A and B are shown apart, each in its own frame.
Chain A
Amino acid sequence: MTTASRGGDRTEGEIDLRAEMLAAAHSLNGPASPSGPSTTSDLSIDEELILHSIGWEPVELVCGMSLHAVPMGVWNWGQGEISYASDAYQRSFAKATDRIHRECAKAGGHGVVGVHVEWAVHRHHIDVTLTGTAVRPVGSKRVTAESVFVSDLSGRDFTLLHTAGWAPLGLAAGASFVYAPRRSLGTTMKQKGVNVELTNFTEAMYSARESAMERMQRSALDLGGSGVVEVKVTEGPMDFARHAVCFMAYGTVVHLVADEHQRMQPTVVLPLDDAVLSFDATSLRGS
């Protein structure tokens, strides 16, 4: 958690919001935006302010999308990994990332923060959409699409990471789709009507998880990162293929840019906003 107060010689308590509001209302009767380029962003005002505190600014709302086909028949019950589906996810993620990189570089951004990762698994295609705000250090020059980073960290988390001497490198993702092996007739009969572990599904889940996590970690290493933060995982069957399980994982790859990790030495605060315990008149009646 980070907090910040207004810069300069002012403190938070000295801001006269009423005067500021009045100045804002008067400004609307004047000419439109005399200085500065116009920007678009999906960041909250808190995120924008905190980004400015480390010298970064939002530039443009950017996105990337891709969908790859999954051929007919691959969901039919089989053995092992459904590699066509796993590959379709990986390729869609890579292509969507490439597109958001290009949009970011075109807008003059150095990276994208707060990326919303949306994905959908359909019977015959897997879609990945990335949407976020391109950001850059104030007054910086353009960079190429290859050197742009993409991160699903919020503006606040990006700031915290930056302050600690780390930087995001990109998004790493991994997915695996695995068939749950068929049970033998004897096993099926034995398990009928009793609540027991279906080891075929447990094993399929473990197998999918290992492959997906391994792909995500390999993707992080390929980006030159030392780790992945904010990993999000999703697992489960698909509506159209209940005999198969999927496991997906993605997160932001980070690396240390400072000589060493910068210790933050946080201030311990005791908030005085505990929930109010109101007086309960019924307690007077006794039992």
Chain B
Amino acid sequence: MDELPGDLPEAAGRRFAEGSFTSGLSVPDFAACLQMGLEPAGYVQGFCVMQWRWYGMGMSFGAFGPTGRANGQGYSEAWQCPHGYVSAEHRGWGQNYEQTWIEDAWREGFSSSYERMLEEARTLGAHGIVGVVDASSPLGDLGLLEFRVQGTAVRVIDGPPPIGDRPWTTYLAGQRLGKLIEAGYAPVSVAAAISSVRVWANCITEYLTEGSTTNWGQVAGAEIEQTAKAHMAVRRIARERVRAALGGDSLHGASLATTERELGQGDAELQCILRGNQVRRFKDFDPLAAPRPTVRLS
């Protein structure tokens, strides 16, 4: 290690040069990695703290309405009032739209911390990072969101240097990574994407979510279509985003987590995060033999 790249702290460089390795692997995972010819190089981490508040909406109120879109890009769908009233107390229209500024900010926080982790791995001469864990959480009550990505950097014994000096990464480690390799998949990268959709309720959505019955023409007990469509859209956008980044590779072991924050009667903000392992087939599939059932005496 001659020079420290980028903005890696000087103390981190000294620590990495000390010779011993650190790892976040459990002992079975450590053993499995050695079995695969993976040598732990160090426990690497990346952090990024972002200011996280309700500004940067990127749209003026004039943008609302049937043809309005957030920033003129992304998903947007409008709902008209069927009653024909013009009143400050009656929601004449509603809109679902993608909050691209929230997605951009999350992407910035995630990719900054991810790149910092890669930078540490490169410093160690690692070929890949296994057992990646990522999370984002509020930092106190300061309106800050902390992104952290960490994992164990490894070297493939006798392996080639990673292309573009960019180590591969995976959420898997140990035995599960072994099975992935055995199944003919090479880990490429962790894949994570967020989508955020805001629901501005129209009158029908508002009445249905507050439990009003048929006084405004809505059908009591009907589907709340605007909210349902927002839920479907937020999941679709996250999946499309990850799929667009796969470039012919596959996504394995995905997890789709959606949260909803109620902001008013019928108004809500939906957020969906999709995580998974981008993998690439490196050999023809070798299917298992027919499964053999067993009864375990224990």
Contact = CB atoms under 8 A, between A and B. Distances in A.
A227 B87 CA distance: 55
A159 B277 CA distance: 24
Interface string B209-228: 11111000000111110011
B168 interface: yes
Interface in A38-83: 38-46, 48-50, 52-54, 61, 63-73
B183 interface: yes
B224 A69 contact: yes
Interface stretch (A28-36, A184-192, A202-210, A251-259): A28-36
B212 A71 contact: yes
Contact of A4 (B227, B231, B290): B290
Do most interface residues of chain B lie in helix, strand or loop, or is the interface mixed?
mixed
A49 B288 contact: yes
B196 to A, nearest CB: 16
Interface-central residue, A15, A20, A264, by most chain B CB under 10 Å: A20
Interface stretch (B20-28, B91-99, B137-145, B151-159): B151-159
A114 to B, nearest CB: 11
A66 B163 contact: no
Given A49-B179, A73-B211, A6 B293 contact: no
A130 to B, nearest CB: 11
Interface-central residue, A1, A44, A45, by most chain B CB under 10 Å: A45
B289 A22 contact: no
A1 B296 CA distance: 8
Contacts of A71: 211-213, 220-221
Interface stretch (B1-9, B41-49, B56-64, B246-254): B246-254
Interface string B265-282: 000000000101000111
B160 interface: yes
Nearest to B243: A40
Contacts of B185: 24, 45
Interface in B165-221: 168, 176, 178-183, 185-188, 208-213, 220-221
Given A29-B160, A271-B298, 7 more contacts: A4-B289, A4-B291, A29-B163, A65-B235, A67-B231, A72-B211, A91-B223
Interface of A: 1-8, 10, 15, 17-18, 20-29, 32-33, 35-36, 38-46, 48-50, 52-54, 61, 63-73, 84, 87-88, 91-92, 95, 99, 123-125, 129, 131, 159-160, 163, 264-271, 274
